[in-house]
Structure 1
Amino acid sequence: MLNRKIVASAAAVALATGLVACSNDEQAAVVSETATATNTNTATETVAAETETASSTATETVTSSAKESGAAAAGADATQELTLADGKTALVPQGVLDTMDEYAEPTWGEPTAVEEIDGGWIVTYDNEHYITWKESTGGSPIWGAIADSWLNDVRGARTVGFPLMPETPNTDGSGWNQEFENGTIDWSRDGSADAPFKATVNTK
């Protein structure tokens, strides 16, 4: 009787131990599966987030570059409205207005005309004052006898192209000269102090 009880108790203990062991194994499997699923989901979400961020950054970079390129192109071709003395308007490159702001004097009054010629622009004021601008040369004022010679192509003056800078006095005090794309125009006396002024065109 005692032996049967002991055997029975041993069997019960063994059964209980087996159940505990089984229960522990199942829990371990569940924990392992949960950890694996969690790690997998976390890794997947991390990769997806990094991919989305990289893609978004790349898109923003390309978009920003495209906008900058577009802005640069628009700036190169930009035109502005110029109002003349008679109230009429004309569209001119921004460089023309910048040159007017730099060189035109208040005493010249309002511009009376503007024209595009030989790849550049000429803005006319009263009393033989002009503003010139060309993309390859920049802007410059031109006036007086040198302007008259150039505009009317006296002695082939137009062959020197557009002016590069304002006229300057000759070092000997004999007159003035102005530098152009392809040469200079000199307005000075020929020889003696009482000789008449004349335009001399010097090409490069």
Structure 2
Amino acid sequence: MLKNTLSRRVLAVAATAALGFGLAACAETEKAAETGGDVVSSAAEKAEEAVKGDKDKDAVEPSTPDSEPAEGEVQVETEDGTVALPAAAAAALESFTAEWGQPESIEANALGQVLAKFQEGNIVTWAQELGAIPVVGKIAETWLDEGGLENPLGLPTGPEQAAPEGNGWVQQFAHGVISWVTDADGEFTAVVEQN
């Protein structure tokens, strides 16, 4: 009973921290829109650090959809049904629902990695060692088209950043990079570089 109470308290602290940083990210996003600065990446990194710092220490492989949750898991509602996830993953994903709404679907692989799909093509990945990381827009579309959780690039290791040349966005993955940048003709294209 004490373990469950402590787990719930840790989960509550993690959720509160993630929500707080999410609100800060929203405020910094508005500031970035006004100033044109790269504040969004900084806010996303802060949210990621908060979630990573409070994640559950005992990794639990997610249950199959609509199964009973195992110890250390919680039920998460999606548009496709209920999914049992590690408590740390559920708390981390919760921080994105304020902006993106309820996940459309959540899937997990045998490694315990989680992929939550939201409206408008936004996704969030979660892994015990990385925490929750958002992937949006054409980078998300490209990563999903190349296999999602089974993509040879692996999971993202941080949120997208402005391209060094200022011509788009880049996001680092465990085994490479996906860029959404303008080409010589000024057209945006996805560039996938595998390590």
Q: Please give the range of the TM-score, normalised by the shorter of the 2 chains.
A: 0.5 to 0.7
State the Cα RMSD in Å: 2.5
Instruction: Give the conservation status (yes or no) of the 8 Å contact 2:97–2:103.
Output: no
Q: How does 1:35-114 map to 2 (within 5 A)?
A: 75-77=58-60, 78-85=72-79, 88-102=81-95, 104=96, 106-114=98-106
Q: How many residues align?
A: 126
> How big is the shift at 1:168?
1.0
User: 2:114 & 2:141 partners in 1: Cα distance?
Assistant: 16
2:108 corresponds to: 116
Q: What displacement does 1:105 show? A: 5.2
Matched-pair identity in %: 26
2:192 corresponds to = 201
Code of the residue aligned with 1:98 in structure 2: it is A
Structure 1 counterpart of 2:155, from 155, 158, 162: 162
Kept after mapping to 2: 8 A contact 1:160/1:184: yes
Equivalent pair of 1:139/1:164 in contact (CA under 8 Å): no
Q: Map residues 29-40 of structure 1 onto 2, 5 A cutoff.
A: none
Which secondary structure state, in structure 1, belongs to the residue aligned with residue 152 of structure 2?
A: helix
Q: Is the 8 A contact 1:187 1:200 kept in 2?
A: yes
Contact (CA 8 Å) 2:75, 2:82: kept in 1 or not? Answer: yes
**Partner letter of residue 197 of structure 1?**
F
- Find the residue that maps to 2:99 and give its secondary structure: helix
TM-score using structure 2 length: 0.57
SS in 1 for 2:102: coil
Which of these two proteins has the greater Rg computed from alpha carbons?
Answer: 1
Paired residue secondary structure (2:88): helix
The answer to whether the Cα contact below 8 Å between 2:169 and 2:181 also exists between their aligned partners in 1 is yes
**5+ residue gaps, structure 1:** 1-72
1:188 equivalenced with 2:152 (yes/no): no
Match of 1:131 among 119, 124, 129: 124
Residues 159 and 182, structure 1, Cα contact 8 Å, conserved in 2 = yes
The verdict on how the C-alpha distance between 1:123 and 1:95 changes in structure 2, with shifts beyond 3 A counting, is: same
Letter in 2 for 1:108: W
**Could you tell me how far apart the structure 2 residues matched to 1:131 and 1:183 are?**
18
What runs of 5+ residues in structure 2 fail to find an aligned partner?
A: 1-55, 61-71
Question: Which is helix-richer, 1 or 2?
Answer: 1
Shift, 1:81, TM fit: 1.0
